């Protein structure tokens, strides 16, 4: 009986360490994929958007966050082709905490090319990972939209999304801010190979709520 118990304990410890290793490796792979971007307006049909997402506390509730960007088209195939998710990974080796570029880690910056036309930020996918595939979980936070228009060769600021993942009843979950100067200063450092002096601010961009998620 004692031998069986010891074997079970050893097996549990092995699985625990394996899950930690998998989690760490996943985080490292994501970081390695974060490459410096270039954007040459004269050589592309796309535009470049940039912005940020801010969390209220250092402690992260989820293992990964995916900002969802949809493309508006009457052709479903084109819409699907141009749908994009931007991933943000908190630190999770010792404890779950945000590790963004601004505000002591609370704010993550992003920049990505988008096809010319109308796009919108439509939600945030929330990924939970206990280390075991069977217990992995995805939740979607929808009910809001941040529409914007991308023009060929133009660098556009799309704003700062504030996600209060600890919001209680009657508290705002997702809100929008214009932090153009602050985010522009930060993105210059993170992505130095883009001519950020050409970046444009569109003060008409804002958030619209489709459901009661405020």
Q: What pTM does this model have?
A: 0.81
Largest CA-CA distance found in the chain, in angstroms, rounded: 74
CA atoms 10, 97, 56, 85: torsion sign: negative
Arithmetic mean of pLDDT, 108-132: 93
* Rounded-to-integer distance, Cα 2 and Cα 177, Å: 60
Q: Which residue has the higher pLDDT, 34 or 198?
A: 198
* Rounded-to-integer distance, Cα 5 and Cα 201, Å: 64
Arithmetic mean of pLDDT, 96-123: 97
Q: Which residues pair with 208 in a beta bridge?
A: 145
Q: For tokens 């592309």, name the residue.
A: 44
* Rounded-to-integer distance, Cα 93 and Cα 23, Å: 8
* Domain coordinates in residue numbering, the chain: 34-209
For residue 212, pLDDT over 50 is answered with yes
The predicted pLDDT at position 34 comes to 59
For 150, phi then psi, to 5°, come to -100, 130
pLDDT level of residue 173 (50, 70, 90 thresholds): very high
- Side-chain-facing half-sphere of 141: CA atoms under 13 Å: 21
* Rounded-to-integer distance, Cα 192 and Cα 200, Å: 17
Between the two ends of the chain, the Cα-to-Cα distance in Å is 56
């Amino acid at each position: 009986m004692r031998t069986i118990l010891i074997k079970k304990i050893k097996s549990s410890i092995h699985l625990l360490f394996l899950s930690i290793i998998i989690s760490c490796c996943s985080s490292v792979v994501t970081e390695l994929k974060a490459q410096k971007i270039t954007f040459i307006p004269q050589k592309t049909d796309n535009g470049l958007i940039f912005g940020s997402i801010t969390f209220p506390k250092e402690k992260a509730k989820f293992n990964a966050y995916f900002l969802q960007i949809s493309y508006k088209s009457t052709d479903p195939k084109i819409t699907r082709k141009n749908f994009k998710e931007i991933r943000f990974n908190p630190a999770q080796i010792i404890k779950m905490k945000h590790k963004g570029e601004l505000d002591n880690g609370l704010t993550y910056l992003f920049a990505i090319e988008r096809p010319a036309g109308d796009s919108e930020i439509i939600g945030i996918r929330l990924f939970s990972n206990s280390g075991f595939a069977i217990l992995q979980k995805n939740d979607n936070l929808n009910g809001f939209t941040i529409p914007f228009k991308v023009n060929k060769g133009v660098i556009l600021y799309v704003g700062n999304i504030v996600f209060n993942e600890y919001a209680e009843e009657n508290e705002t979950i997702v809100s929008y801010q214009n932090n153009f100067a602050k985010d522009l200063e930060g993105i210059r450092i993170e992505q130095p190979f883009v001519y950020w002096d050409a970046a444009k601010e569109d003060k008409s961009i804002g958030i619209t709520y489709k459901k009661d998620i405020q």
